[in-house]
Amino acid sequence: MRQAEGPPKGTWTGNPLGGVKAPEALMLPDPATRFARSAARLGALAAGHPMMEWLHFMAQLAEAQHVVVTGLKIAGPDRTAVDQAVAARRPPLAADGHRRDPAWRDGLAMLLDKICTRATQAPARAVAANLRARDAGAVEALADGFLHGGVASADAGAALYVAAALQVYFTRLAAALPAATLRLLPQRGLCPCCGSTPISGVVTASGQTPGTRYLYCSLCSTAWTHVRAVCITCGGTRSLALRGIEDQSGAVKAETCNECHTYAKMLYQAHDMKLDPFADDLATLALDLMVAEAGWARHAPNPLLLVG
């Protein structure tokens, strides 16, 4: 099943013959809507936000990703390799071992062309110019470092663009996978397509099974189900709690775990049907700061922030 406006929509739960339908185990991304939706949501959230200029820039970046993902020419996944990985309960697009199509760098070049306009601030253009000047080997090394969690602080700016280009690349690959043959991994907190960590979770308020929690991959944009009231980091159940900022809608909360001392963002459609797992994570950094100050570490970094 492909992602469109979110998990499947419906007017009731169950079926006239009795029983309750199980939720779709995973949803592959729709490249035609994934980045466009995030861009629109970021633009809407920027209005009156304390980080308005930065959110506008991130919206511009998402718009550039949308242009690139619809125009990038890459080879699809090898079906035999995919089937072998699925049979072995491994992610078929394992981010830390996948041999990237060099065309992903074409996507990076396209993204830099789209993002570097007169409206882009000088520091961002300078970082892009520096990245353009690097040879293919240096760019691939930076991509490897990002995927393995080893980016030097001096490369954080360039890594933003590399991460954005890799999101486009892996989203296109994931969208081309044979959905019917894919399976969830034994490590339920990891993406079944590329093995990456989720950026946030969404608890649905509509569809055949409202109340289902979907985790959204930070790299390839795939969504998959995960049992609620279970820590996505350690699998613990004894000391979970939801924490939010007072006087806010309650649409975005941090699920904290005292067993592993981590937290993850959870988004609740019952409070806002326009939520986007990627955009709303970026727009709620105040929640990250509040929870971090209280002693919990984020379960995994946002690729566009490189902070955990």
Average pLDDT of the chain, as a whole number: 90
CATH class of 30-179: alpha beta
Q: Quote the pLDDT of residue 251.
A: 95
Using one digit for the tens of pLDDT, what is the confidence trace for 68-92?
Answer: 999 999 998 999 999 999 999 999 9
Q: Quote the pLDDT of residue 20.
A: 56
Using one digit for the tens of pLDDT, what is the confidence trace for 7-47?
Answer: 333 333 334 344 557 889 999 999 999 999 999 999 999 99
Integer angstrom CA distances of residue 165 from 123, 160, 266? 19, 9, 25
Higher pLDDT: 7 or 57? It is 57
CATH 3.40.50.880 fits 184-298, yes or no: no
Q: Could you state, in order of their start, the residue ranges of all structural domains in the chain?
A: 30-179, 184-298
Give the whole-number percent of the chain exceeding pLDDT 70.
92
Q: Quote the pLDDT of residue 118.
A: 62
Compute the average pLDDT of residues 179-195.
Answer: 95
Give the whole-number percent of the chain exceeding pLDDT 90.
79
The contacts of residue 91 (CB under 8 Å, 6+ apart) are 85, 185, 190, 191, 192, 193, 194, 195
Compute the average pLDDT of residues 49-72.
Answer: 95
Q: Which residues of 251-263 are buried (b: 16+ CB within 10 A; e: fewer)?
A: bbbbbbbeebebb
63: its two tokens: 């718009």
Q: Quote the pLDDT of residue 6.
A: 42
Q: Quote the pLDDT of residue 306.
A: 63
Higher pLDDT: 246 or 146? It is 146
Q: Do domains 30-179 and 184-298 have the same CATH topology?
A: yes
